[in-house]
């Protein structure tokens, strides 16, 4: 049993030779190329200034180097031959440098989720036009579901209209938090909207592919996360009488809600895998700082309060990783649907654990921890946002509680004192 009170946890198969080879290659890539490139990335962003979304040249250079090392599209089992459990430690390594490494190996959100969708339900023509250049790392994409006017954690609320007019769809609506839409390489939006507001609740929505240069697509601004602009942006987008051919429907009309669920499952677990790497980096920084910084007569590492925080951080990361890997194993062995509760649990537990580790690391860095001289403040902001994007914690907790409340009990338990009082 994959989720619930059974104690029968599976033994995982040993990783394949290819998985070990990719893992070792990823360690070397981070050590030799990615971590040393962070300074150039940061310099470009500072010099380009607030609101600039140009691509630091070092990113395209890293992509070439990653490909030469065979580190490319590892998130997609049909491309890489890796299971999700084998991909998990590699994705985790990419989270150590979360603004450079995922993109360097073409495993960055939101493109991974979009590539998965195109791979799963795209037509042959859509795959050639959009999936191939995405897999080649030539273009980028965005996923446009959330709307400012409605509570979008409940995707049935989405109001954007997709109306058929002859051989075209006409799209009208307002989206926000559309990650990646400010990147100059972004060529397509996958837009979720309603094709039939009268249909059953979960059959009203559809997804269409909208090239960003279609007339009526207005990318108005990029929203900062805790005051910080990401390179690829999180955009507010107005869609006014946007026309695309009916062949741009992704999957079937009315199938948008189900497709969104299919997209978000793997997307969520990949976020969680990368988050673990960010947590490991924060812990490594905490350890280094504790050993190097002296206060009140000795290194901070000699203070029992500091040692305890380091130990608590290790425990939390190991717990979080075990849950993430278990979820990945169930995705591999039983599929996304069977793994959905475990993915929901990991989506709640892992960012929480990682945030508490980053928070301790910030504390140990003192004033330096809240500046942008270390990556800690950026990591804190991003992982705090992770508790909201791809579904807020409460939505996942609701799903988990529903599953628990509808579960057949494992035992007929003896009457409690409360039963006897009836």
Ligand X SMILES: Cc1cc2nc3c(=O)[nH]c(=O)nc-3n(C[C@H](O)[C@H](O)[C@H](O)COP(=O)(O)OP(=O)(O)OC[C@H]3O[C@@H](n4cnc5c(N)ncnc54)[C@H](O)[C@@H]3O)c2cc1C
Q: Does 395 bind ligand X (CB under 6 A)?
A: yes
Which residue's CB is nearer to ligand X, number 182 or number 376? 182
Report the residue number, 15 or 392, with the smaller CB distance to ligand X: 392
205 in contact with ligand X (CB under 6 A)? no
Among 80, 306, 391, 396, binds ligand X (CB under 6 A): 391
- Closer residue to ligand X, CB minimum distance, 62 or 191: 191
Instruction: Select the residue interacting with ligand X from 134, 144, 262, 300 (CB under 6 A).
Output: 144
The total of other beta-carbon atoms located within 10 Å of residue 226's CB is 11
403 near ligand X (CB under 6 A)? no
Phi-psi region of 216 (alpha: psi -120 to 50; beta: other; left: phi over 0): left
| Binding of ligand X by 400 (CB under 6 A) | no
Give the contacts of 49 (CB within 8 A, at least 6 positions apart).
none
Q: Which is nearer to ligand X, 3 or 143 (CB)?
A: 143
CB of 392 to ligand X, least distance (A): 3
Token code pair at residue 48: 């380009």
Q: Which of 1, 151, 315, 401 binds ligand X (CB under 6 A)?
A: 151
Q: Rule CB under 6 A: is residue 145 a binding residue for ligand X?
A: yes
Write down the least CB distance from residue 192 to ligand X, Å: 7
Measured in degrees and rounded to the nearest 5, phi and psi for residue 249 equal -65, 140
Q: Is residue 286 a contact partner of residue 369, using CB atoms and an 8 Å limit?
A: no
* 148 secondary structure, DSSP code: T
Is residue 235 within a helix (H) or strand (E), and if so which, with residue range? strand 234-245
Residue 108 within binding range of ligand X, rule CB under 6 A: no
Residue 35 burial by Cβ neighbours in a 10 Å radius (0-12, 13-18, 19+)? middle
> In terms of DSSP bridges, do strands 298-299 and 217-222 run parallel, antiparallel, or are they unpaired?
unpaired
Q: Which stretch binds ligand X (CB under 6 A): 100-108, 175-183, 284-292, 359-367?
A: 175-183
Q: Is position 257 an interface residue for ligand X (rule: CB under 6 A)?
A: no
Roughly what angle, to the nearest 10 degrees, separates helices 84-95 and 256-292? 50
Residues 6+ apart with CB under 8 A from 265: 331, 336, 339, 340, 343
Based on the shown chain and the rule CB under 6 A, indicate whether residue 261 belongs to the binding site for ligand X.
no
Identify the residue among 90, 118, 135, 178 touching ligand X (CB under 6 A).
178
179 binds ligand X (CB under 6 A): yes
Q: Is 385 near ligand X (CB under 6 A)?
A: yes
CB 244 within 8 Å of CB 208: yes
Pick left, alpha or beta for residue 54 (phi over 0 → left; psi -120 to 50 → alpha; otherwise beta): beta
**In the structure encoding, which two tokens stand for residue 114, read together?**
């979009």
267 binds ligand X (CB under 6 A): no
Q: Does 214 bind ligand X (CB under 6 A)?
A: no
Site membership for ligand X, residue 394 (CB under 6 A): yes
Candidate residues 35, 258, 287, 388; the one interacting with ligand X per rule CB under 6 A: 388
Measured CA distances, 207 to 85, 193, 288, 336 (Å): 29, 6, 48, 20
| 225 near ligand X (CB under 6 A) | yes
* Total residues interacting with ligand X, rule: CB under 6 A: 22
List interacting residues with ligand X (CB under 6 A).
110, 143-146, 151-153, 177-179, 225, 234, 385, 388-392, 394-395, 398
């Amino acid at each position: 049993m994959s989720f619930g009170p059974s104690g029968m946890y599976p033994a995982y198969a040993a990783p394949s030779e290819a998985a070990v080879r990719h893992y070792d290659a990823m360690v070397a890539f981070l050590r030799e190329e990615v971590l040393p490139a962070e300074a150039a990335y940061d310099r470009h962003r500072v010099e380009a200034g607030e609101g600039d979304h140009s691509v630091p040249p070092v990113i395209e250079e890293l992509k070439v180097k990653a490909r030469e090392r065979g580190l490319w599209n590892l998130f997609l089992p049909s491309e890489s031959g890796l299971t999700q459990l084998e991909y998990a430690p590699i994705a985790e390594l990419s989270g150590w440098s979360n603004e450079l490494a995922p993109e360097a190996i073409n495993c960055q959100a939101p493109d991974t989720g979009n590539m998965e969708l195109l791979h799963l339900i795209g037509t042959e023509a859509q795959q050639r036009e959009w999936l191939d250049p995405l897999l080649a790392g030539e273009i980028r994409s965005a996923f446009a579901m959330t709307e400012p006017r409605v509570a979008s954690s409940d995707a049935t609320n989405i109001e954007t209209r997709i109306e058929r007019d002859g051989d075209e769809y006409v799209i009208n609506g307002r989206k926000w938090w559309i990650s990646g839409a400010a990147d100059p390489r972004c060529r397509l939006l996958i837009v979720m909207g309603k094709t039939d507001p009268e249909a059953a609740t979960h059959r009203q929505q559809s997804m269409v592919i909208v090239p960003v240069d279609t007339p009526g697509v207005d990318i108005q601004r990029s929203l900062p996360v805790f005051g910080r602009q990401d390179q690829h942006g999180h955009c507010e987008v107005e869609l006014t009488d946007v026309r695309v051919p009916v062949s741009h429907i992704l999957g079937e009309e009315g199938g948008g809600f189900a497709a969104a669920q299919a997209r978000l499952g793997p997307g969520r677990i990949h976020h969680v895998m990368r988050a673990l790497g960010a947590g490991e980096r924060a812990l490594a920084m905490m350890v280094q700082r504790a050993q190097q910084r002296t206060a009140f007569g000795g290194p901070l590492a000699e203070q029992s309060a500091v040692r305890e925080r380091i130990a608590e951080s290790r425990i939390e990361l190991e717990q979080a990783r075990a849950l993430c890997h278990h979820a990945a194993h169930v995705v591999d062995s039983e599929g996304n649907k069977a793994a959905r509760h475990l993915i929901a649990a990991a989506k709640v537990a892992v960012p929480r654990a990682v945030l508490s580790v980053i928070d301790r690391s910030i504390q140990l860095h003192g004033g330096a921890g809240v500046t942008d001289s270390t990556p800690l403040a950026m990591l804190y902001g991003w992982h705090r946002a992770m508790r909201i994007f791809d579904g807020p914690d409460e939505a996942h907790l609701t799903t988990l509680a529903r599953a628990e409340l509808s579960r057949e009990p494992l035992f007929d338990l003896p009457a409690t004192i409360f039963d006897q009082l009836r």
